[in-house]
């Protein structure tokens, strides 16, 4: 009986050894499963690579379209600059230094009566402002930091004291002469305020000064007019912080021309 049992054990021993070897060595079923997973990963990588190539082509197309748009905008800008230069030539405005010499244009409209010694207006001192002669005109320059908070067109409380000095100087020294209120900005595009563009902001700031001079400064609306130049007449470089601060300003240009209401 024992011999029969040992005989069966010896007969089964090779099969047991094979199973043991299968368990210890690489399982063919496991290798097949791993191979399938690798194939799926490779297929997924190929799909991702194809998607990346497609996105790269799309970005290339978008870049070419952007370059065309930049070129078109540059052409439009060059055309506007040419038209602006022609307009300045007609009005007698010097577009290089940002100061206007528009006596010829305004003389034809307002009669061209000059005042002051030798046909020129006096240059006076105004506290808190820069006053200088600009050809036949006199300019009173105020920085926007004096007048407005960033992105706003409402006068600061402190600005009203300065404008009170300005209006008093105009009443006492330039009564009846034409006064242009010019708004100017730097070249940074509008991003975080309600204004559509810099021209819009420059006009609204000039209007705020106009309203004060008319309502609180005692000046006649017949003596005043408003212009918004946006960034078109810089007096300093727009590539530096200091230059941009100088370009953000309001200027009152007093012309040697009597108003129609004289």
Q: What's the pLDDT tens digit per position in 115-132?
A: 444 457 999 999 889 999
Nearest partner of 156 among 144, 141, 170, judged by Cα: 144
Q: What share of the chain is helix, strand, coil (3-state, %, to 5)?
A: 55, 15, 25
For the chain, domain boundaries: 31-91, 95-258
Identify which has the larger pLDDT, 15 or 93.
15
Q: How far apart are CA 90 and CA 214, in angstroms?
A: 30
CB under 8 A, 24+ apart: contacts of 235-241: 235/97, 235/98, 235/99, 238/186, 238/187, 238/188
Q: How far apart are CA 44 and CA 171, in angstroms?
A: 81
Percent of the chain with pLDDT over 70: 65
Decide: pTM greater than 0.75.
Answer: no
Nearest partner of 138 among 115, 113, 112, judged by Cα: 115
Helix, coil or strand: residue 141 = strand
Let me know: does 196 contact 190? Beta carbons within 8 Å: yes
The mean pLDDT of 36-50, rounded to a whole number, is 77
Which CATH code for domain 95-258?
A: 3.30.1330.60
Report pLDDT digits (tens) over 129-180. Answer: 999 999 889 999 999 999 999 889 999 999 999 999 999 999 999 998 999 9
The predicted pLDDT at position 246 comes to 95
């Amino acid at each position: 009986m024992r011999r029969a049992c040992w005989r069966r054990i010896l007969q089964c021993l090779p099969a047991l050894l094979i199973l043991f070897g299968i368990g210890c060595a690489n399982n063919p079923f496991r290798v097949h499963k791993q191979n399938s997973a690798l194939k799926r990963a490779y297929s997924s990588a190929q799909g991702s690579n194809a998607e990346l190539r497609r996105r790269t082509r799309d970005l290339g197309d978008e870049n070419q379209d952007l370059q065309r748009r930049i070129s078109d905008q540059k052409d439009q800008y060059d055309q506007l600059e040419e038209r602006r230069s022609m307009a300045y030539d007609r009005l007698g405005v010097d577009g290089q230094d940002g100061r206007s010499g528009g006596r010829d244009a305004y003389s034809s409209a307002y009669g061209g009566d000059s005042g002051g010694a030798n046909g020129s207006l006096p240059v006076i001192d105004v506290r808190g402002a820069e006053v200088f002669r600009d050809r036949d005109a006199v300019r009173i320059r105020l920085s926007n930091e004096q007048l407005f908070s960033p992105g706003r067109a409402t006068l600061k409380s402190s600005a009203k004291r300065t404008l009170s000095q300005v209006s008093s100087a105009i009443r006492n020294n330039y009564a009846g002469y034409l006064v242009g209120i010019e708004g100017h900005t730097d070249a940074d595009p509008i991003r975080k305020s309600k204004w559509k563009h810099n021209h819009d902001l420059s006009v609204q700031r000039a209007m705020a000064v106009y309203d004060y001079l008319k309502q609180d400064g005692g000046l006649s609306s017949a003596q005043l007019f408003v212009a918004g130049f946006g960034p078109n007449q810089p007096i300093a470089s727009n590539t530096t912080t200091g230059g941009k601060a100088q370009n953000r300003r309001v200027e009152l240009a007093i012309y040697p021309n009597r108003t129609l209401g004289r």
